[in-house]
Amino acid sequence: MNTNYELIAGLEIHAQLSTSTKAFCRCPNRYGAEPNTLVCPVCLGAPGALPVLSKEVVKQATKLALAIGAEIHLHSRFDRKNYFYPDLPKGYQISQFNHPFATGGELHIAVGTSVRPIRITRAHIEEDAGKSMHLADGSTVVDMNRCGVPLIEIVSEPDFREPEEAGAYLTSMRELLRFIGVCDGNMEEGSLRCDANVSVRLRGESELRERTEMKNLNSIRSVERAIRAEMQRQIQAYESGGEISRQTLQWDDQSGKLTPMRAKEGSNDYRYFPEPDLPWLEITEADIDCERELLPTLPAARRKRYREEYGLHEEAVYLLASDRAISDYFETLLVDGRAPAIAAAWVQGDVQRILNENAWDFTEFPVSAARLGGVIDAVEQGRISRNAGRDLLRRMMTDTRSADEMISAEGMEQLSDATALRGIVRELLERFPSELAKYREGKTKMIGFFMGQIMQATKGQADPNSSREILMNELDHSN
């Protein structure tokens, strides 16, 4: 790519809010139902029906605005965005244009080793349209279940200079939205969607050149690929003496091609005007404070603590703060004074392995932090071995007892009594004279053989550290 040019890109993220009902009616907000079953006169735009804003939408929008540090406007207003399309039953979309819910804010992205802020222009509330599906026979059918589902549109400043930065921003935003429970972030189901605005200019230029808009970027990878492709197209156009005109492009992930979109009916003059069916959206400082108190500590702050106070390595820092449930679980383990590094190792290692094996989401993991804490404590106190602890955790998938109950009921207490262990070791040395001879000839790997025999003889209950110490002593000093 011609490196004389730099990328200027911004993202518009549409996030479906995780509310129980749609934005302006009482229909359930749920994905995957039979087409056109989650509808009512309001979201279908029946003559005479009127929208009423759900309070839940305002709460969710408030959480998001707080999480990105945006300024929430105590008075915001809805506008109508007018255009004709079969999946838009009223002939207009209720959105916010001149007086958005929140403005400003930022989100930090990490690219390579550097972390930098991306500025956010605004976040406003709007309703989703239905879903048009174009069938093989050329006809189009419409599912109105999505009509009126609440969206928050988050518009970034054109702060991206590399396609990967846009990808990192989308990743961070998705993580944040999930973390605060505002959106499930599922890009395949369309609950999180992304458009990109792209222009390029020669390095050193101060003016912005004409930009294009790309729609239908349905994964983080496609955001990066599409921006890269469009960047190249624009550079080639300029280099061959051409111009870029303002247009909307559709990204096809399969072919990796951008095609100009058929213009929406009529021109792009949406004739925004204040939605007369809805009063100003009024929110108080008290309402905002209420949401602020409910807001969890965000991933960025958690990571800082994990890194600086707990001294965890980067992999653990990222994993343990990227999901609210995992992070809270981890932090619950620390409450009883367990060492962060040890708790992290269990969550990151054993727990994660079980999740992967079962293809579970963390919410499906059946062992509470209290029970895993019991396992960790038993291991740390030397009552059972690390391996026995691992085994205990696995058995907890189907056993609801606490670690202590399971250990005492099944006699799993670790054998660490020196006299008993010494007796076992001496007996083994007598049983395996040739192996002992090999050790004496210098084959130190025979230590492993004897350790294995000790574990076998004690059904894994021998404390490995004490056993090893006694074994070494006996090997080197007995005749």
Partner 1 sequence: MHPRIPSPAILRQTPSKLPEAVEAALACAREHEDLGAYLTLLEERAREQAAQVVARVNAGERLPLAGYLVAVKDNIAIKDVPLTCGSKILDHHPSVFTATAVERLERAGAVIIGKTNLDEFAMGSSTENSALKQTLHPRDISRVPGGSSGGSAVALAIGSCHAALGSETGGSVRQPAAFCGVCGLKPTYGRISRYGLVAFGSSLDQIAPFASTCEELYPVLCAMSGADPRDATSASAPVPSSQKLTEPDRKLRIGVLRDYLEHESLAPDIASASRDAIERLRSDGHELIDLHLPVLSYSIPVYYIVATAEASSNLARFDGVRYGFRHPEADELSQVYDLSRGGGFGPEVRRRIMMGTYVLSAGYYDAYYNTALKVRRVIADALLDALSRVDVILTPTTPSTAFKIGEKVDDPVAMYLSDVFTVPANLAGVPALSVPWSDDSNGLPIGLQLIGKSFEEEFLLRSGMILERLRPTT
Applying CB under 8 A, among 1, 133, 273, 405 the residue interacting with partner 1 is 273
**Is residue 53 within the footprint of partner 1 (CB under 8 A)?**
yes
| Region of 81-89, 284-292, 357-365, 392-400 interacting with partner 1 (CB under 8 A) | 81-89
Whichever of 266 and 366 has its CB closer to partner 1, that residue is 266
**Is residue 41 within the footprint of partner 1 (CB under 8 A)?**
yes
Q: Are residues 25 and 52 in contact, defined by beta-carbon separation less than 8 angstroms? A: yes
State the nearest-atom distance from the C-beta of 43 to partner 1, in Å: 12
Whichever of 128 and 331 has its CB closer to partner 1, that residue is 128
The residues with which 48 forms a beta bridge, in sequence order, are none
Applying CB under 8 A, among 77, 82, 288, 435 the residue interacting with partner 1 is 82
Residue 62 neighbours by CB distance under 10 Å? 23
Residue 137 neighbours by CB distance under 10 Å? 5
Angstrom distances, CA of residue 421 to CA of 47, 426, 428, 445, 462: 86, 9, 11, 20, 8
Considering only residues 309 through 348, tell me which ones interact with partner 1, judged by CB under 8 A: none
| Helix (H) / strand (E) containing 196 | strand 192-202
| Cα 360 to Cα 260: distance, rounded to the nearest angstrom | 41
State the nearest-atom distance from the C-beta of 155 to partner 1, in Å: 20
Specify the 3-state DSSP secondary structure of 15.
strand
Sign of CA dihedral 180, 186, 189, 192: positive
**Is residue 279 within the footprint of partner 1 (CB under 8 A)?**
yes
Specify the 3-state DSSP secondary structure of 244.
coil
| Cα 367 to Cα 396: distance, rounded to the nearest angstrom | 7
| Helix (H) / strand (E) containing 212 | strand 212-217
Angstrom distances, CA of residue 382 to CA of 130, 162, 412, 447: 60, 52, 11, 22
State the nearest-atom distance from the C-beta of 79 to partner 1, in Å: 10
**Is residue 47 within the footprint of partner 1 (CB under 8 A)?**
yes
State the nearest-atom distance from the C-beta of 298 to partner 1, in Å: 33
Applying CB under 8 A, among 63, 90, 174, 371 the residue interacting with partner 1 is 90
Whichever of 33 and 46 has its CB closer to partner 1, that residue is 46
DSSP labels, 424-470: HHHHHHHH-HHHHHHHHTT-TTHHHHHHHHHHHHTTT-B-HHHHHHH
Phi (first) and psi of residue 15, to 5 degrees: -115, 125
CA triple 344-346-348, angle to 5 deg: 60
**Is residue 452 within the footprint of partner 1 (CB under 8 A)?**
no
State the nearest-atom distance from the C-beta of 51 to partner 1, in Å: 7
Which tokens is 472 given?
């070494």
Whichever of 31 and 97 has its CB closer to partner 1, that residue is 97
Applying CB under 8 A, among 278, 447, 451, 457 the residue interacting with partner 1 is 278
Whichever of 51 and 105 has its CB closer to partner 1, that residue is 51
Q: Where on the phi/psi map is residue 459: left (φ > 0), alpha (ψ -120 to 50), or beta?
A: left
CA dihedral 76, 82, 83, 85 (to 10 degrees): 70
Whichever of 79 and 165 has its CB closer to partner 1, that residue is 79
Listed residue (225, 228, 224, 217) closest to 261, CA to CA = 217
Applying CB under 8 A, among 80, 122, 178, 233 the residue interacting with partner 1 is 80
Number of residues forming the site for partner 1 (CB under 8 A): 27
**Is residue 205 within the footprint of partner 1 (CB under 8 A)?**
no
State the nearest-atom distance from the C-beta of 157 to partner 1, in Å: 24
Residue 35 neighbours by CB distance under 10 Å? 15
**Is residue 51 within the footprint of partner 1 (CB under 8 A)?**
yes
Whichever of 89 and 373 has its CB closer to partner 1, that residue is 89
State the nearest-atom distance from the C-beta of 47 to partner 1, in Å: 4
Applying CB under 8 A, among 14, 35, 49, 216 the residue interacting with partner 1 is 49
Whichever of 25 and 258 has its CB closer to partner 1, that residue is 25
- Over its C-alpha atoms, the chain yields an Rg (Å, rounded) of 30
| Cα 432 to Cα 398: distance, rounded to the nearest angstrom | 40
Applying CB under 8 A, among 71, 205, 265, 410 the residue interacting with partner 1 is 265
| Region of 88-96, 206-214, 252-260, 452-460 interacting with partner 1 (CB under 8 A) | 88-96
Whichever of 2 and 140 has its CB closer to partner 1, that residue is 140
**Is residue 52 within the footprint of partner 1 (CB under 8 A)?**
yes
Which positions touch partner 1 (CB under 8 A)?
41, 44-53, 80, 82, 84, 86, 89-92, 265, 269, 271, 273, 276-279
